[in-house]
Amino acid sequence: MPSGFDAEKIRADFPVLQQLVNGKPLVYLDNGATSQKPQAVIDEIVRYYTTENANVHRGVHTLSQNATEDYENARAKLRGLLNAADDHEIIYTSGTTQSINIVAQSYGRQNIGEGDEIIVSNMEHHSNIVPWQMLCEEKGAVLRVVPIDDAGELLMDEYERMLSPRTKLVSITHVSNALGTILPVEQVIELAHAQGVPVMLDGAQAVPHMAVDVRKLDCDFYVFSGHKLFGPTGTGVLYGKAELLDAMPPVQGGGEMIKSVTFEKTIYNDLPYKFEAGTPNIAGAVGLGAAVDYVQSIGYETFAAHEEELLEYGARALEQIGGVRIIGTSPRKAGILSFVMEDIHPHDIGTILDAEGIAVRTGHHCAQPVMQRFQIPATARASLAMYNTKEDIDALVRGIDRVIEVFS
């Protein structure tokens, strides 16, 4: 283990992990779907509701001012997390899905027209496919898909060929949720920018595992979900460069997103409020701020090294089991071990593992096109977080042995 990192100590911070499931100690390997919450995040939400609950940006009274301060402090923490230039480049959303839909319906509707092209990859989550299909249908634009190789890596020469004066946006995942591949996003961005094309990165599976610097990457939009980063559900972030967000129309109208309203003319508010109509998820934002503090108190370098070691350990262990095939074998991977077993449906794998107290996700992982690429209906997926240990992987291996036993 890397010096200074103690996964057992981290584990103790997560109350949900301290339980038996189906009579066995819980082995939680479904972090790609959502991660567990440390006590510090739970306490912060309880503190907020117990002592401070009020609406933000509206009251002169003390609770409202305190709530506003905490809500905005959390935004500043998220800016720091991504190293964005300004707090107002951080828009609170309900998750990655909403963040992408805002970009599609605002930036997309404004800038993408008939015959224009949007580039995605073959390994996108449905939430980075369907909003673009909806836009394409509305505008007569075309969705182009960068193919991948058998290891689950992007075919960069195909991508380069696809970029053209018709390309208006590249929207690509940073880390694949079904395969774990870390995409060469620096190169993706450099090639797009060389043609003046903006790039959005779907960081849902990246932010929980690696430090992200949006200014160093020079991406135009970056989106992620708070609930996969040890924060509450119903939270997410849309980062955009200020000059892009400033020029974009709001997608939802209501309170908070305006400066003044008359029946003749409404003046929209400044960033970030222009995109935050209505009462926001204040407790969620405050809880997400606590999650950022938690992640930073441990340090990405420290837990990323631990996770990398676990991923290698897990891959080696699974490869040694006869009949198991790992889907997604790029040498650059984060957090995900997707696999299939000869003649055994992934749902059966999931059910037998569950009886052993082991939580994995089985299915297409909302990434059906990548399943089609590998000509499989589904996989079983173990997805890691900082609190997982080699003992969890050993339990998974024992669980798979049990699956084999049941089916033999």
Taking CA atoms, 403 is separated from 6, 317, 396, in Å, by 31, 15, 10
Q: Which distant-in-sequence residues (6+ apart) come within 8 Å of 205 by Cβ? A: 32, 173, 174, 175, 176, 177, 180, 228, 334, 335, 336
Q: Please choose, out of 46-54, 74-82, 124-132, 187-195, the segment that lies near ligand 7TS by the rule CB under 6 A.
A: 124-132
Please pick, from the candidates 31, 122, 167, 177, the single residue that binds ligand 7TS as defined by CB under 6 A.
177
Among the listed residues 36, 167, 181, 205, the single contact to ligand 7TS using CB under 6 A? 205
Residue 44 CA to residue 47 CA, distance in Å, equals 5
End-to-end CA distance of the chain: 36
Please tell me whether residue 279 adopts helix, strand or coil conformation: coil
Contact 341, 324 (CB under 8 A): yes
Q: What part of residues 366-395 is at the interface with ligand 7TS (CB under 6 A)?
A: 366
**How many residues form the binding site for ligand 7TS (CB under 6 A)?**
17
In this chain, which of 27, 32, 358, 378 binds ligand 7TS, going by CB under 6 A?
Answer: 32
Rounded to 5 degrees, φ, ψ at 217 are: -65, -30
Say which of 366, 376, 397, 404 is annotated catalytic.
366
CA distance 152 to 365: 15
**∠ at Cα 297 (293, 300), nearest 5°?**
100
Query: Minimal distance in Å, beta carbon 81 to ligand 7TS?
Result: 17
Question: With CB under 6 A as the contact rule, which of the stretches 123-131, 184-192, 295-303, 344-352 interacts with ligand 7TS?
Answer: 123-131
Nearest to 354 by CA among 111, 14, 27, 103: 27
The single residue among 75, 306, 361, 373 that binds ligand 7TS, judged by CB under 6 A, is 361
Least Cα distance to 164 among 142, 149, 186 occurs for 142
Is 36 an interacting residue with respect to ligand 7TS (CB under 6 A)? no
90 vs 204, which CB is nearer to ligand 7TS? 204
Active site includes 219?
no
Q: Establish if 125 lies at the interface with ligand 7TS (CB under 6 A).
A: yes
Q: Does 33 bind ligand 7TS (CB under 6 A)?
A: yes
97 binds ligand 7TS (CB under 6 A): yes
Q: Does 173 bind ligand 7TS (CB under 6 A)?
A: yes
Toward ligand 7TS, which CB reaches closer, 121 or 269? 121
Active site residues per annotation = 366
Chain residues that interact with ligand 7TS, rule: CB under 6 A: 32-33, 95-97, 125, 127-128, 173, 177, 202, 204-205, 225, 361, 365-366
